[in-house]
Structure 1
Amino acid sequence: MTETTVTIDDAAQRSARLGEAGAAWAKRIGANPDNANLTYTAAGVGVGSVATRISAGKHQFLVDEPAALAGDDAAASPVEFALGAIIACQVVVYRLYAEQLGIQLDDITIKAEGDLDVRGLFGIDESIRPGFSDIRLAVSITGPESQERYEELGRIVEARCPVQDLFSNTTPVSAVVTKA
C-alpha cells in the first residue's frame, strides 16, 4: 500500500491554513447559507473474497476482512475504517477549535477501541445489534495549556465532530437494490 502524507511541521503554517479555511467558509456561507450544505460521495466494487475497492473523489482504497470473517486480510476491515474515521475527524476538529479558541495544541494522538459482538452480524442473537456496542477514545494532547483547558476543548470536539455525531445519533440510511 502506498501512503501519501502532507506534513506540516510548522505550527504557524497549520495555523495559517486553518485560519484561511475558516475565513473562506465564513465568506462562502455569509454570501449564501446554502453553501454550507455538502454532499460527499463514495463508490465501491467487490473484489477478492469479501473485499471492496472504494473510490472517493480522486482517492481509492481497499477494505477487507480478516480470514476469520472470510476475508483475505489485505486491508483494514470496515469497522477498523470506522474507528479510523472517528480518529481522523477528531484530529481535524481538535486542531480547528484549538485554533479558533487560541489553545496551543502541539501534538495529538488518539486511540480508539470499539466493542462488537458478532452474534448480531451473523444473526445468531437478534437482540444484539450488529454494530459497535461501545467506542472508547483515548486522546493524548501535548502543549503548554492546563488539563482543564484541554478538557474544555475535548467537550467542544465531542459536540462538533461529524463522525462522532454519526456514531452518537441515528442517521437515516436508505438503499435501492437493482439488478444490473
Structure 2
Amino acid sequence: MTLLQEQLSLVADVTAEERARRLTSAGTAWNERITADAGAAALTYRVIGRGVGSVATEIRAGKHLFLVDEPGALAGDDAAASPVEYALGALVSCQVVVFRLYAQALGLTIDEIEITAEGDLDVRKLFGIDESGRAGFHDVRVRVDITGPDTAEQYEELRRVVDAHCPVLDLFANPVPTSGVLV
C-alpha cells in the first residue's frame, strides 16, 4: 500500500448528507465562536521545513509530515512534488473546500468536483539569468469541473463567491506582507 493509499483510507467517502452535516456544523460553530469572541477568528499557522538530500525539504505541519523536492533538472531527486506544484495543490484543495462550503450555504448540490490549476513560471530569475522578471508564476489558470443538478448560472455565481472567499486564491491574487530573518 502506498502512502497516498494509506492517507486516502483515512478520508472516508462520505454521503452528501454527512458532508452537509459537517459543513453546516463547522459554519455554525465558527459563527458562534466569533460572535462570542471576535479574536477567535485570528488563526496562526506554523509549518517547519528541514533541508534533506540534494534540495528536498521535509515539512512538518502539525502532526503531518511530507516531502517537497525538485525534478532532476532543478538539482532534485524527483522524490516528491516541487514547491510550486504544492502551491498549485494548495490552491486547488482550498478551492475544493470553499466550493463545498459555499455550495452548502447557498443550497446548491455538487455531485462531483475536479479542479485543475496550471501555472506558468519563467526560471530566468530563479537562476539569476535575468533579474527583470518575476521569480514566481506570471500566470495561473484554474479550471473547475462541477457536476450536479443546479444550473450553469448558479454554479457560475458559486464560482464568483468562492473566488471572493478562498484564502489561498487570495494569496495568489494579492501581495502579502512577508518578512524574513536569518538566525
Indicate the TM-score class for this superposition, using the shorter chain for normalisation: over 0.9
**Which amino acid is the alignment partner of residue 2 of structure 1?**
L
1:156 lines up with 2:161 in the alignment: yes
- How many matched pairs? 178
Percent identity of equivalent pairs: 61
2:128 maps to 1:117: no
Structure 2 counterpart of 1:23, one-letter code: T
Checking the alignment, whether the CA contact within 8 Å between 1:8 and 1:14 is kept in structure 2 is: no
Contact 1:19 1:99 in 2 (8 A): yes
CA offsets 1:65-111 (integer angstroms, 9 cap, x no match): 00000000000000000000000000000000000000111110001
TM-score, structure 2 normalization: 0.96
SS in 1 for 2:120: strand
Higher mean displacement: 2-11 or 132-141: 2-11
The residue number in structure 2 matching 1:132 is 137
Which segments of structure 1 move beyond 6 Å, counting only runs of 4 or more? none
Matched, 1:170 2:175: yes
Question: Distance between the aligned counterparts of 2:43 and 2:94, measured in 1?
Answer: 16
Instruction: State the 1:7 CA deviation.
Output: 2.4
- Aligned 1:11-160 pairs, distance under 5 A: 11-160=16-165
Q: Which moved more, 1:145-154 or 1:121-130?
A: 121-130
SS in 2 for 1:75: coil
Q: Which blocks of at least 5 consecutive residues in structure 1 are unaligned? A: none
